[in-house]
Amino acid sequence: MLALLPWAWFAVRDLPLGVIVEAPAVGLPVIALVAAVLAAGYAWRRRRAGALVVAASTLTVGMVATVGPWLPRDAGDVAGPGVTVVAANIDGRGGARHAFTDLDADVLVIPEVAAEAIEPLLPAYPHRYVRIHDHDDPDIAVLSRYPLRVLEPVGPSMPGARLEVGGPDGPFVLYGLHIPRPWFTGESDSRYQATAAEHRRLVKAINEQVRAETLPVVLAGDMNSVDRERDYRTKLRTGLVDAMRDASAGPTSVGKWLPLLGRIDHILVSAGWCGDGARYLDLPGSSHRGVLATVGPCAAPDPAVSRS
């Protein structure tokens, strides 16, 4: 029974139980590893073979729940050249600008942007929306080769910017996002964070807004939603295709947060659009890896309708 108990995670992970499931979802790799080590240590000391079964079961659950959302899932083929989108949180550091020079991206979404990071990029991106050090709102830049029209600027209810992009296959709505990280307390000490309940309300509001759009939609940026969390699974990704799973995925939160194996930077597209060429980018000095995918209208009927 103890060996089967960890598998109950898959039955309760989407229940609206607040931090009871959200906190374990974020810390699941560490929690599973520690629990497995403790069970294995007990088995070694007490010569209890059953405890080894519990240890193996717990570790397996942690691996399946963590790695499952990283496995490749064909995002469909893009018709034509598409639009290459990059989302890269550079932690306000200028050194990461070198990561963008050879990408040949059409649209860059850069949360926690630094002026010195984007200045060399401006000649290649004539259309841009930039907010830096605007009170308590997130710093973000959207640089584009295609025309931009601001639909909703950065604000308390929009953790990023909502823009219309005049793409080669027709206009689409881009949400360049930097959602505050969920934490035990809200904003404090100039940290860009929110309570778990506040984070959930923001994610839900964005999803409802996306579902009401009449144009194709692309969400890109640092969403501070781990792909095994309920907010990501049941709200943020509902009705959308995860373009980064066109290839093998992996954690984007690195540095001191790497043990949590969090994939929190995403590129999502609405049904009818697909994604190709997904890959991850190293960002010197940043606690994130960037994400890149080419998105656009599907070349064939979109399988995302059945997957969402």
Read off the amino acid at residue 233.
Answer: R
Q: How confident is the model at residue 284 (pLDDT cuts 50, 70, 90)?
A: confident
Q: Where are the alpha helices (DSSP H) in 106-171?
A: 115-118
Q: Tell me the pLDDT tens digit for each residue of 36-45.
A: 999 999 888 8
Residue 236 scores a pLDDT above 80: yes
CA distances from 81 to 152, 169, 260, 293 (A): 28, 9, 36, 12
Are residues 235 and 282 in contact, defined by beta-carbon separation less than 8 angstroms? Answer: no
Which of the listed CATH numbers 3.60.10.10, 3.30.1110.20, 3.40.50.2300, 3.40.605.10 matches domain 83-307?
Answer: 3.60.10.10
> Helices 49-67 and 19-46 sit at what angle, rounded to 10 degrees?
150
Contact residues for 233 (Cβ-Cβ < 8 A; gap 6+)? 13, 14, 227
Token code pair at residue 67 = 């790695």
pLDDT at residue 187, as a whole number: 61
pLDDT at residue 308, as a whole number: 45
Output Rg (C-alpha) for the chain, integer angstroms: 20
Could you give the percent of the chain with pLDDT greater than 70?
A: 94
Q: How confident is the model at residue 96 (pLDDT cuts 50, 70, 90)?
A: confident
